[in-house]
Amino acid sequence: MEVIHPRCCGIDIHKESVVACLRLQEGRRVKTEVRRFGTTTAELLRLHEWLSHAGCTHVAMESTSVYWKPVFNLLEGSFEVVLANAYHIKAVPGRKTDVKDCEWIANLLAHGLIRASFTPPPPIRDLRDLTRHRKSLIRDRVKATNRAHKLLQANIKLANVVADVLGVLGPCHVGHACCRRN
Q: Could you give the CA distance from residue 46 to residue 38 in angstroms, rounded to a whole number?
A: 9
Same-domain status, 114 and 150 = no
Q: What torsion do the CA atoms of 105, 35, 70, 23 make, to the nearest 10 degrees? A: -40
Those residues with Cβ within 8 angstroms of residue 76's Cβ, 6 or more apart along the chain or in another chain: none
Same-domain status, 38 and 19 = yes
Q: Could you give the CA distance from residue 7 to residue 4 in angstroms, rounded to a whole number?
A: 9
For 24-50, the pLDDT digits (tens) are: 988 888 898 999 999 899 999 999 999
Handedness of CA 70, 74, 77, 83 (dihedral sign): negative
Position 48 in a domain: yes
Show the domain range for 137.
123-179
Domain boundary among 100, 118, 136: 118
Same-domain status, 167 and 146 = yes
Same-domain status, 97 and 165 = no
For residue 137, pLDDT over 80 is answered with yes
Q: Could you give the CA distance from residue 132 to residue 85 in angstroms, rounded to a whole number?
A: 21
For 93-125, the pLDDT digits (tens) are: 665 777 888 888 888 888 888 888 788 888 888
Give the number of other CB atoms < 10 A from CB of residue 72. Answer: 19
How many domains is the chain partitioned into structurally? 2
Q: Are 116 and 83 in contact (CB under 8 A)?
A: yes
Position 1 in a domain: no
